[in-house]
Structure 1
Amino acid sequence: MLFKLNRLTQSLVMVGLVLPAMAYAQDAPPTPKKDEGKPQRIEVTGSSIKRVRDEGAVALQVIQAQDLVKQGITSAEQFVATLSSNGNGVDNMTTNQGGDFLNSTADRPHNNGAASASLRGLGAQYTLVLLNGRRLSTHGLNGTSVDLNSIPMAAVDRIEVLKDGASAIYGTDAIGGVINFILKRDYQGLEMTASADKTQHGGGDMYRLSVLGGVGDYEADGYNALFSLTYDTNNRLRGTQRSFQNGYQPDRGLAPDTTGTPFATIGASSGTALSGYYTLPGDTQSYNKANLLALQGDCSAGTDMVAYRGDITGFNNNNKACAYDYGKQWSLMQPVDRFNLVSKANFRLSPDHMLTAEVVASHTESAVEYTPIQLTTKSAGALYPAYIKDANGNLVRSPYYQDLTGLVPGFDNTKDELIRWRCLECGPRQQNTKTDAYRVLLGLEGVLAGDWDYKTGLSYAQSKADTTLGDGYLYQDQLSAAMATGLINPFLKAGESQTPEAMALLEAAKARGAKLYGGQASVAELDATVSHEIYSLPAGAVSMALGLDLRNEKYKFNESESSYPTINGVSAPASLDQASRDISAVFGELDVPLMKSLDLQTALRYDHYNDFGSTTNPKVALRWQPLPELAFRTSYSKGFHAPGFEQLYGGSSTGQFNSDINDPVLCPNGGTDANACGIRPDIVTTSNPQLKPETSKQWSIGLVASPLPWLTSSIDFWNIEINNKIAALSGQALMAHYDQYSQYVVRDENGYITEVDAPIMNQAGAKTRGVDLNVTANVKDGPDTWVASLDGTYTDSYKSRFSANDPWTELVGSFGDAIYGYDLHVRWKHQAMLTWSRGDWSVTGVQSFTGHYRDEVDGFGSGVTSPNAPTWVKSYTLYHLSATYTGFKDTSVTFGVKNLFDTKPSYSAHNVDNVVGAGWDGRVGDPRMRSFTLRVNHKF
C-alpha cells in the first residue's frame, strides 16, 4: 500500500487542532493502578478510550455467551435475528433469495451462501460487523457485507451491539450501528460441546460439535493460547414438509400467477399456432393462452396444477390457462455446513506489553434450491414442433403435439406451438456455494511511558467464494435441440412420465457442475490507537485518544467459464476485474467531565479514499447524571458510506421482470396486443463510476433509570437520515415513474419495449426514527435468583424517495413493494427473557414478538388486490423454554423446546416471487415450527 505522507501529516495536524491546546501544556496525571481500588477501565465498542462500561453516553447492548446457550442459539445469524434493532430484510440465508439475480439489488448483489446483519433495517452495507474490535473481509461474492457464517460462535465470550452511528470511530459501514463479536480471553482447560436441534415435523434439523482448549495462565505464566474448532450442519427444509407453505388459497386471496405448468400451456405469439388473442363463443373475455385441461375444466389433472384465478391476480386473459403451485415446491431452508477455526495466543513481552497472534478461518458450503425451470419464450426452446422427421426423413406429426383445433378459434395446427412448460423432470434448480474466509492478525498492546494506553495491529482478511450449478439447469442449445425432436412430452398429466429416450435427452443437456460465478474480497489493515488522561479538571480527568487506520480493500467478481446465455434461466451477471482502493484515516476522541454529573464525549475522523476523495465526520455525545439512579444521554454524529466496487465498476448485468407488465404507453389499461400487454422485457442494471458517497446525520436522546436496586431501565429515541442513497431503479419503479424515467426504456422500430435499463444512481435518500426500550430486573430471593429482561424497538417512521422532487413514501408497517424494495420495517419488535436459577438448576423462558403490518398489495403488478386477502399480517409471537443442569461432574446439560406452542407463521396472501413464503412471510416466520434442543458440554 502506498500512502502520501504529506497528506497523512496534514490530517494528523487537523485532528490535533480540534483538541484543546491546554491538554498538551500540562503533565498528564498518573493513571491509577488496578490495585488502587478503582474499577478496571476497558475498551468498549464505539470508543477508543478505555473506560468503565457504564460510563458511556450511547446505548450499548451486551450479550453474554451463556445467554445464547439458554436460547439454543448456535450461529451468528440466529443471534442477529433475535435483536429488536435488526431489520427484517432479505439479508439472511433463510430468505433463500440470494442466488436469484432477479431479486438481486444494487446494494446486495450475488448473496449466495451469505447471511448478514441489518441494524435499523437500513441494509447490510450500513452495519459494521467486527471480531475483537477489528474488521473482517466482506463476503467474496457480494463484496458489501461480512458473512455471519464466518463468525466462530463457539469461541465467543460476549457480543456488544452499538445501536448508534460510529463512522467517526470506525469509518464506513457504521451508519446503522456496530456488532462486535468478542472472543474468549485467557481461557484454560479443554471442553467439548455437542448440540442438536431437531424439528418435530421433520426437516431443518441442526447439529453442532465443537472443541475448545486453552493453555497458560497469562498472569502467572506470561502467555495464553486458545484453540477452537467447530462443525455445524443444517439440513434442508422443503415446502412440501409444511402445510402452511401453500400458494393456492383462493378463499384467502392467494393464487399463483404462472402459466408455466407441468401440463404445458400454449401461449399467443405471431407466427405460431396461436397467433394472438382469441374469444370463445358466448364469452366477451379475450384470452392469450390456452391449456387443454383448462378448456376441459380439469386443471387438477396435472401435477400440483390448479385453475388460473384471474380474479385474484388481475390477469383474466389467462383464465383459459392453468396455474402451478410453484410456491409449495420452494425450499424453505437451504442446507449449510460450516467449519470454524480459531487459533489465538497472547504473550507477555514485559509487564506493560502484550503480543497477540491470531488466526480465524471458516469454510461454508450451502445449497440454495429453486423450483424446476419453465420454458416461456421462443429463445428458451419453448417452440414445440408441429412436425418432425421420421427415420426416412419424411415430415410427420409430432407425437405429443397438442391440437386445439375446434376448441380455440383461429388455432393453426400446421404451425409450431409456443409453450409455457414447467419441466418437473429436469429437477429443482440448485446452486452450490463454497466460501473460504480467514483473518490473520499480529497485534501489540499495553502501556507506554507516561501511562499511555496503546493498541496496534496488522491484519489481513480474505473471503473467497464460488458457486456452481447443481441439478435442474440445462444448456440452452441442447435443450432447444431436445425439444425440436418431438420426443419430449410437455403435456403430461399427474402420474404419467417421460420415456427413457426423453429422459436421456434432458439428462444430456444438464449443466450440472458448471461454474456460475466466483468472487474474492480482501482487506489489509494497519491500525494504531493511543489513549491517556491528559488533563485534570475540577470534575475529573480529561481523556483523549488518537488513532490511525490504513487499509487496502480489494474485490473481484468473475462470471463462469461458460457462456451465460447458453444456460437456461441464468442471466449474465457483470464481470468485475480486480478493483482496489487505499484508505487512510486519522481520528481523535475526547472524554471531558464538564461537571461532576456531566460528561462530554467528542470524536472526529478524517478519511481519504484514493478513488473518490475525502470526508470528515464528527460525533458529539453528552451524559448527565443528576442522581445516582438517573442518567440522561444524547449524541449527534455524521457518517458516510463509500460506493461499493460493484456499484462503481461492475459493468452491466441482465435480468428479467418477475411477473408480466403492461407497457404504460401502448397498454396503459390492459388490452389484447401481445407485444405490449403482459410482457417480460429484459432489465439491464449498469454500474456508475460517477457515484458520490452516501452521507448520514443521526442523533439520539435517552435516559437510564434505576429506581430500585434490582431494576434498571433505559429508553432511547433515535433518528437517522441518509442522503445520496445508492440504488438501482427497479424495472417496476421505472414503469411506475415512466414520465420521469422514460429515457431508460428501450423500444424497437415498432415502438415496443425490448429492454429496460436500470442504472445505479445516487437517489434522494431515506430517513428513519424510533425508540429503543430496555428493562432488566435481577431479584435474589433466598436460594432463588430471578433475572428478567426486555429489549424492544419501536420504529415510528421509515421513509424513502427517489429524488428531491418526489414525495416521501412511508414504509413502516407495510409489506414492501417492487419500487422501494422488500425490506420489512415493522413498528414493534421485542425479545423478553426470564431466568430462574437455584443451585445446579436454571430455567429460561423467552418470548419473541414481531408486530403486525399491512399485507402485500397487488403483488402481481396488475392493479388488482383480491377482496379475500387480509389487510394485515397478524403479529407473530413465539415462546421458547430451556433448562440447564450442572450437577454432573464437569458436565452441563441443557434441554429446550423452541416454539413451545408449535405456532405457525402468520398468514400472508403473497407468493414467493418477491419474498420467500407462499402464504406466509419468510422475513418474519420460522418455518421449522416446534423443535427440541439438547446441548451437552463436558470439561476435561
Structure 2
Amino acid sequence: MKLNRLVGRLAALGLAAHACAVLAQSDTGAKLERVEVTGSSIKRLVDEGALPLEVITADQIRQKGLTSAEDVLRSLSANAANANNAVSSNSVFGQEGDRLAGGGAYANLRGLGPTGTLVLLNGRRLSNQGTSGGSVDLNAIPLEMIDRIEVLKDGASATYGTDAIGGVINFILKRDYQGVQGSVNFSTPLTGPRGKQRKVNLTAGWGDMATQGFNISGSLTHSSNDILRGSDRPWALGYQPDRGLAPDTSSSPFFANIIGQANSALTTAGSTIGTTDTTKYTVLNALALTNQCAAVPFGVSQLANPTVLSGLGYTKANSTYRCGTDYGRQYMLSAPSQTTSGVVKASFNLGKDATGFVEFVGSRYYSLGEFTPYQFSTTALGLNTTVNGKLYDHGADYPVDGPYYVNMKALYGANQFDPTKPIAYRLRMWDWGYRVLGNESVNDRLTAGVEGSFGDYDYRVSLARGKASGYQEMVDGYADTTKLVNLLASGVYNPFLLPGQTQTAAAMQAVEATKVHGRLAGGSTQVDQLLANISGPLMKLPAGDLSFAVGTDLRREFYGYSGTQTYSCVSSFSPANMAATNSVMGCPGNASAPDMTRNVGAVYGELLIPALKSLEFDVALRYDHYQQVGSTTNPKVGFKFTPNADLLLRGSYNTGFRAPTPQQLNLGTVQLATTGSFADPVKCPNPTGNNDPSCQLNSIPYLSGGNAKLKPEKSRQGSLGVVFSPARDMTLSMDYWQIKMIDRIHNLTPTQELQNYSVFADNFIRDASGNITLIQAGWINAGGSMTKGLDLTGNWTTTLGGNKLTTTLSATKMISAKEQLISSTPMIQYVGQWTNTTLYLPWKGSLTTSYKMPTLTTTLSANYSSGYWDEDHTTFTTVPELQRRKISKYVTFNLVGTFTGVKDLTLSAGILNLFDRDPPFTWHDVDNAVGTGWDPRVADPRGRTVQLTASYKFF
C-alpha cells in the first residue's frame, strides 16, 4: 500500500510537470544541453559544485600512470586503505578475510566496505562478483573505453538505493567514438625481473550522430600481470628479530622439526643435549643443532622467538633447537593475472530528440592466489590407528625401519631420544610446492534503452541484464590426505633433508601422485534492471525554474554458490579427516548458498528548488522494497548557497541503508580452523609471558556462515562544505562529513570473540575438561559506528613560459572512525590504528602538477599515506620496546611524459615510484593480515618502475 500511494503521488507530480510545460519553454526557442550529474536525477546546465563530486578524466588517468580501475580507486583519497584487492584478500590466513573474494578488487569509500560503495557503469548497475555476490569487481570495468569517472563522496541512498552509504563511483564510457586506434602498454620494475605488466587495446568507431544519425563503437583490451614474490624483494623478510618480527611457526621446510609425542622417539618431556646442559628440549632439528637453519631455502632460526614472541609460548626448551620457515618471504606480493575486457555500443537517432542505444560490456579475469606450502604434524594420527580398514601401526610418524631414520642420540647427543621408536615431526611441504588457487571471474552486461526529450523535459528508459560467474580451482600444492599419509608411513619420502640434499626421483614421483587438482566451488549472480525517469522544469519561480525528477528502479537479483562439494578440505591427519570423501589437506573449503532470487522495487522523486538567486535546495525521497528483507524510505536534503561568484557554501543531510547480500543471508555453515596461537581466556586470564602449553591454542575449529535473520544496515549522514576562489583560476574546497550507522553487518571472528570473551562466552563450546573444542562465529548485526572526516580539494591553472600549468590536490583527513562490536560493548577508535581489514589512515592524499606544451605534457604526482600504529604486540612479548611502535608514512612520486608531436601517434613514458621508496616496515606477519614486514593495503611492492605506452590512430 505504501508503494502504491507513493507511486500515485509521484505520478501526480509528473502530470503537474507536464501541465506546467508551457511555463518552462525558452523564449528564444534555443536550448542549451543539460547534463546529468552523478548523485542527482535532474539534468542541469552545469554542475556548480553543489555536490562533493570528484571527476577524473581519461587524460588524468593516463598522465598519472594508472592502468586499471583498481589503480584509480587506490589513488583516491576517499577510498580507504583496504584489504579488497587480489593480494590483500588472498585469504587463507586470518579469519577476517573474504574467502569468497575470488581474487577480485573492490572499492571502499569512507572505509565502510565494498558493500557500502555503489559502483555504476553509465549510471547503471553491474552484476556483483560471481563468488562473493557482495559487490562489483573492479576488474570488470573496461578502463580503456572510459571517458571519465565521477566519484560522489556523499550518501546517495535517496537516489540509488542500497550500497550507496559510503558514496557512488560512476564510470562513464566514451560516446560517439570514430576511427580506429591501437595502443600497447608495458611496465617493468627496475629492481628485479618479476612484476611486469602488459596491456594491448584496440578501439574502433564508425558513424557520426550529428550528420549520419548513428554511431557504432567498440573496444577490446587484454592485459597480463606477472607474479612478484617476497623472495624478489630484499625488504620482504619475515625474520627481522632486531625489529620485532619473527615467524610464528613450528614447521621447517627441509629437515623436519622432531616433536615430542607419547610412544615416539622423543617423549613429550623432551631430551637433554650433551653432558652439561640439563634443559630438556621438546623440539629437535639437526640443522638447529649444527647452526644451519638458514642454510636451506627460507629456513630461519628460532633462537629469537622466546624474546620476540615470548607471549605466544616460545621458550628455550622448544625454540633453541627448532628451525622455522620465513613464510613471509615465500608469500605473493603481486598476483599473476590475465584480463580480457570489451565494450560494444550502438547509438542511433530515433527522431529529432530521441536516441536509442544497445550496449554490451564483458570481461574475463583470471588470477592465481599463491600461498606458502602447507604444514602438518604427524601426531594428529595416533599409533595403531585403523582408517577405512587399514592399520597404521606407526600412524604417520617416520618408521624405525625407514631408510632415512635419524638417530638423534647417536648423531647429535640427544640423551633421551629412543631410536627404537618412530619419529613424530612437523614439516612444511616444500616438495609439494606453493599452494596455488586459480580464480576466474566473468562479468557481462547487456543494456538497451532510449534517452531523449520532449520540450524541456528529459526522459530515460533502459533495460539491462548483468550476469557474473566465478569459480576457484586447485592448481598445485594440495595433496590427497590418505595418499599423503600412506607416502609418509612408507618411509619412501625423506622428511630429514640436509643442505644440498634432494628427494629421490621415486620420492618426487610419489609426491606428484598425491597431488589433487580440480575445481573447488563456483558461484553466479545476475541482476535484471528496469530504469525509467523523467525530469525537467515544474514551474517558474522568481529565482528560476523549480525542477523535478520522478522515476522507478525495478530489479531482480539472483545469487547462487555451490560450496565445496567434490572435496573435503581438512587441516590435520585425524582418523575422521582421513575417512572423509576425497579428503584434501589444507584446501579452503566453503559451504554452499542455495540459489536465491529476490525482487527489488523502488520509486523516487527529486525537487530542485531555487529559493533565491543565490540559494538552491535539492530534496529527494526514495522508497525501496526488498523481498526477504523489507521496506525502507530514505530522504535527502541538500543546499547550495553562492553569496558571490567566488564563494559557495553547500551541505546535505540524508539517511541510508544497505540490505544484506544473499551470501550473508543464505551461505551455509562451514567449519574452519583458527590460525596462529591464542590463549584460553578462562584457563589463562593473563597470558603474557605464560608459557604453559595449555595457554597456547592452535587450529581450534570454528563455524562461520550466513545468517537469515540479518537486518539492513541503516545510516544517518551529513556534510557541510565550502568552495571558494582565492585567486584567478584557483578553486579550493573543504567538506566536513560524518556517517552514523546502526546494525552494521559484520563477520564476527574468533579473534574478536576472544577480545570480548565476557560478551561471547556462550559461543565457545567446551568438553568435560573445560577445553575449547569449537567456536561459533559468522555474520551478525553488530553495534553502531561513527565516521567523521574532512575532504580537501584544490585546482589551480596558470601560465608558465607561455604554456599551461595545472595543479590539483585531493586529500582526506580521517577525524574519527569509532565502531562497537555489539551494542553492549564500547566504541573503539580505529583512526591511525592497525586492524586486520580496513586501515583508517589519519591522512591520505595526492598532489599532481601537469605542464602542457604544444606537443609534450609532463606530469609529476605525489601520493601520501600517513603513518599509523603497528599491530599491538602487548600479548606477543614481555619486552616493552617490542610491544608498541609507529609505522612511518609512505610517500611516492610518479613522473609521466606524453609526446604528441607525430600525427596520430601518442608516446608516453613514465617512472613510477621515482625515488624507489620501499614499503614502510611493519612487524605483523601473514597469520593476522596479508603481508609480512610490509602492508599491501598501503604500499606498492614493485619499487621504481618504468612504464611505456604507445598509441596510434590509424584513421
Q: Is the 8 A contact 2:564 2:592 kept in 1?
A: no
Deviations 1:389-433 (Å, cap 9, x if unpaired)? 99xxxx852333344459667655554443220111111110111
Deviations 1:236-263 (Å, cap 9, x if unpaired)? 1111111111111111111111111122
Q: Distance in 2 between matches of 1:701 and 1:21?
A: 34
Mean CA deviation greater in 721-730 or 266-275:
266-275
Q: Is the 8 A contact 1:388 1:485 kept in 2?
A: no
Change (3 A) 1:733 1:229: same
CA positional deviation for 1:268 = 3.9
Aligned to 2:314: 316
CA positional deviation for 1:738 = 1.5
Deviations 1:13-66 (Å, cap 9, x if unpaired)? 35569x799878755523449973x75320011010001342352200011101
Deviations 1:359-403 (Å, cap 9, x if unpaired)? 001111111111111113645899999x9999xxxx852333344
Q: Distance in 2 between matches of 1:515 and 1:26?
A: 61
Change (3 A) 1:93 1:388: closer
1:90 aligned counterpart, secondary structure: coil
Q: Report the AA paired with residue 443 of structure 1.
A: G
1:877 equivalent among 884, 891, 894:
891
Question: Which structure 2 residues correspond to residues 194-343 of structure 1 after superposition, within 5 A?
Answer: 194-201=184-191, 202-262=193-253, 263-270=255-262, 272-278=264-270, 288-308=282-302, 309-314=305-310, 315-317=313-315, 318-320=318-320, 321-343=322-344
Q: Is the 8 A contact 1:26 1:534 kept in 2?
A: yes
CA positional deviation for 1:918 = 2.0
Aligned to 1:439: 445
Change (3 A) 1:644 1:485: same
Q: Report the AA paired with residue 369 of structure 2.
A: V
CA positional deviation for 1:765 = 2.4
Change (3 A) 1:297 1:936: closer
Q: Is the 8 A contact 1:675 1:752 kept in 2?
A: no
Mean CA deviation greater in 895-904 or 277-286:
277-286
CA positional deviation for 1:752 = 1.3
Change (3 A) 1:893 1:442: same
Q: Is the 8 A contact 2:96 2:747 kept in 1?
A: no
Q: Distance in 1 between matches of 2:269 and 2:157?
A: 58
Aligned to 1:397: 401
Deviations 1:840-892 (Å, cap 9, x if unpaired)? 11111111111111111129x53556625771111111111111111101111
2:70 aligned counterpart, secondary structure: helix
Q: Distance in 2 between matches of 1:865 and 1:538?
A: 73
Aligned to 1:3: none
CA positional deviation for 1:298 = 4.0
Q: Distance in 2 between matches of 1:433 and 1:380?
A: 33
Change (3 A) 1:286 1:58: farther
Aligned to 2:121: 131
Aligned to 2:430: 424
TM-score, normalisation: structure 2 = 0.92
Mean CA deviation greater in 144-153 or 316-325:
316-325
1:539 matches 2:543: yes
Change (3 A) 1:934 1:537: same
1:461 aligned counterpart, secondary structure: strand
The alignment covers a number of residue pairs equal to 918
Q: RMSD of the TM alignment (CA)? A: 2.6
1:100 matches 2:92: yes
Q: Is the 8 A contact 1:125 1:144 kept in 2?
A: yes
Deviations 1:772-817 (Å, cap 9, x if unpaired)? 000100113463110001100000111111122211111110111x
Deviations 1:494-535 (Å, cap 9, x if unpaired)? 3211112211111001012x1121111110111101101001
Q: Report the AA paired with residue 542 of structure 1.
A: L
Deviations 1:434-454 (Å, cap 9, x if unpaired)? 222100001111113x53210
Change (3 A) 1:382 1:921: farther
1:176 matches 2:195: no
Q: Report the AA paired with residue 300 of structure 1.
A: A
2:663 aligned counterpart, secondary structure: helix
Change (3 A) 1:812 1:376: farther
Q: Report the AA paired with residue 806 of structure 2.
A: V
Q: Distance in 2 between matches of 1:381 and 1:701?
A: 66
Q: Distance in 1 between matches of 2:867 and 2:33?
A: 45
2:530 equivalent among 517, 526, 530:
526
Q: Report the AA paired with residue 498 of structure 2.
A: K
Q: Distance in 2 between matches of 1:218 and 1:56?
A: 30
Q: Distance in 1 between matches of 2:848 and 2:786?
A: 31
| Stretches of structure 1 lacking an aligned partner (at least 5 in a row) | 1-5
2:482 aligned counterpart, secondary structure: helix
Question: Which structure 2 residues correspond to residues 589-738 of structure 1 after superposition, within 5 A?
Answer: 589-670=606-687, 674=693, 677-738=696-757
Change (3 A) 1:396 1:933: closer
Q: Is the 8 A contact 2:867 2:890 kept in 1?
A: yes
CA positional deviation for 1:72 = 1.5
Q: Distance in 1 between matches of 2:23 and 2:806?
A: 41
Change (3 A) 1:913 1:351: same
Q: Distance in 1 between matches of 2:843 and 2:277?
A: 50
Q: Distance in 2 between matches of 1:766 and 1:351?
A: 51
Q: Is the 8 A contact 2:872 2:884 kept in 1?
A: no
Change (3 A) 1:629 1:383: farther
Q: Distance in 2 between matches of 1:389 and 1:666?
A: 35
1:743 matches 2:788: no
Mean CA deviation greater in 640-649 or 23-32:
23-32
Question: Which structure 2 residues correspond to residues 12-27 of structure 1 after superposition, within 5 A?
Answer: 12-13=7-8, 15=10, 26=20
Q: Is the 8 A contact 2:703 2:776 kept in 1?
A: yes
Give aligned-pair identity as a percent: 37
Q: Distance in 2 between matches of 1:813 and 1:319?
A: 34
CA positional deviation for 1:148 = 0.6
Q: Distance in 2 between matches of 1:68 and 1:352?
A: 33
1:224 aligned counterpart, secondary structure: strand
Q: Report the AA paired with residue 297 of structure 2.
A: T
Aligned to 2:943: 929
Aligned to 1:899: 913
Q: Distance in 1 between matches of 2:781 and 2:93?
A: 21
2:211 aligned counterpart, secondary structure: helix
Change (3 A) 1:837 1:380: farther
Change (3 A) 1:515 1:388: closer
Question: Which structure 2 residues correspond to residues 184-195 of structure 1 after superposition, within 5 A?
Answer: 184-195=174-185
1:369 matches 2:365: no
Q: Distance in 2 between matches of 1:635 and 1:593?
A: 16
Change (3 A) 1:639 1:627: same
Q: Is the 8 A contact 1:543 1:590 kept in 2?
A: yes
Question: Which structure 2 residues correspond to residues 426-575 of structure 1 after superposition, within 5 A?
Answer: 426-448=432-454, 450-512=455-517, 514-565=518-569, 566-575=583-592
Q: Distance in 1 between matches of 2:9 and 2:660?
A: 25
Change (3 A) 1:403 1:668: farther
Aligned to 1:142: 132
| Stretches of structure 2 lacking an aligned partner (at least 5 in a row) | 570-582
CA positional deviation for 1:730 = 1.0
Change (3 A) 1:611 1:696: same
Deviations 1:428-482 (Å, cap 9, x if unpaired)? 110111222100001111113x532100110000111111111111111111111
Q: Is the 8 A contact 1:101 1:110 kept in 2?
A: no
Change (3 A) 1:451 1:22: closer
